[in-house]
Structure 1
């Protein structure tokens, strides 16, 4: 496996971070395509995608800190921000992304169920490729 791509002796790019970034880009392209195809608002689709990505990232890290290694992070609180060292929990990201998207859509007066159907294949795609990225 290749945990990092070494650009120089001192600089390395974590392959998981690279893979997840590519998955996010592919998912955004698919969201735009699906919005046009199924006559959803492209602007709202991208807004919800941004909410999902940010909330998912924060939630995945927060759940790792709170549920997997709380003693370590109590002793080293600044390490919470060292996300390049890993430490994300899928269910934390999924829960916070889902509830944040529902909250956002309700504030916009939209049906969250309709949008959940819209995002379901994109989410499955992202989850599948994300699991593969864990093997890098």
Structure 2
């Protein structure tokens, strides 16, 4: 047992009730993640120095893209969770697939939906798929950070049993002190990843289309796989092949794809005015 167990600060997952409408922290995490990321992307687009000239698209065009990527993230995230994490349950209760307010989103599914949104929108508008993907990935850690904080507020996706001084007893995790793995993920997948990509952008990464996409995929896969060692696997899945979790297995192809994008970007000359 740990020498000190930090009491879990119990939160109400619903921020406020407005008549029959319940505004949940989980929904706000997505809303503010998209809005803050949108604002940050507009700043990056306006900086010609970062792109080696004018950005491959305008702020107005990116504004149109936001709706596409929002649907891609939500639909992909939900479909990914249904297929990868709890298919038997949803097959038996199909109407619950649409109850997004109950939680249940997959990053890897959301990332796939985001990729499809980027490809379809870029082809429709005649834009650079890689550059649009770079910008989307540059702002992605903002949403990841807020999403993991929302997981912590909801008291879900808690960690494995722990004897560290900062272990917590979660309301739905039994009486055993556990790792606050949501905060680990918020730090690595959110803050650390955002800072790493921001530094790369300052060093000229946007001048090499595909480099930020590759760095995002590779670094996220490493961060997620690391955090999975502290996170309790989903009860309906448990440990899978070789003792790995679903999150770790899904991160393997993401890591390999990231390396391929980095190699492709570094093989081509950087954009210049």
TM-score, scaled to structure 2: 0.45
The CA deviation string for residues 23-43 of structure 1, in whole angstroms up to 9 with x for no partner, is 222112222232333443112
- Structure 2 stretches lacking a partner, 5+ long: 1-9, 49-53, 154-273
Residues 80-95 of structure 1 mapped to structure 2, 5 A cutoff = 80-95=97-112
Q: Does 1:55 align with 2:65?
A: no
Q: Secondary structure at the match of 1:7?
A: strand
Q: Report the number of matched residues.
A: 136
Partner of 2:43: 33
Distance of aligned partners of 1:124 and 1:74 in 2 relative to their CA distance in 1, 3 Å threshold: same
Which of 1 and 2 has greater Rg?
A: 2
Partner Cα separation in structure 1 for residue 152 and residue 69 of structure 2? 24
Partner Cα separation in structure 2 for residue 59 and residue 48 of structure 1? 16
The CA deviation string for residues 35-88 of structure 1, in whole angstroms up to 9 with x for no partner, is 333443112212222211111100111111122222222221111111111111
Cα root mean square deviation, aligned:
2.1
In terms of fraction of residues, the more helix-rich structure is: 1
Tell me which of 73, 78, 93 is aligned to 2:90: 73
Partner Cα separation in structure 2 for residue 56 and residue 23 of structure 1? 12
Q: Secondary structure at the match of 1:45?
A: helix
Partner Cα separation in structure 2 for residue 64 and residue 16 of structure 1? 16
Partner of 2:197: none
Q: Secondary structure at the match of 1:135?
A: helix
Tell me which of 138, 141, 145 is aligned to 1:128: 145
Partner of 2:132: 115
Partner Cα separation in structure 2 for residue 14 and residue 104 of structure 1? 30
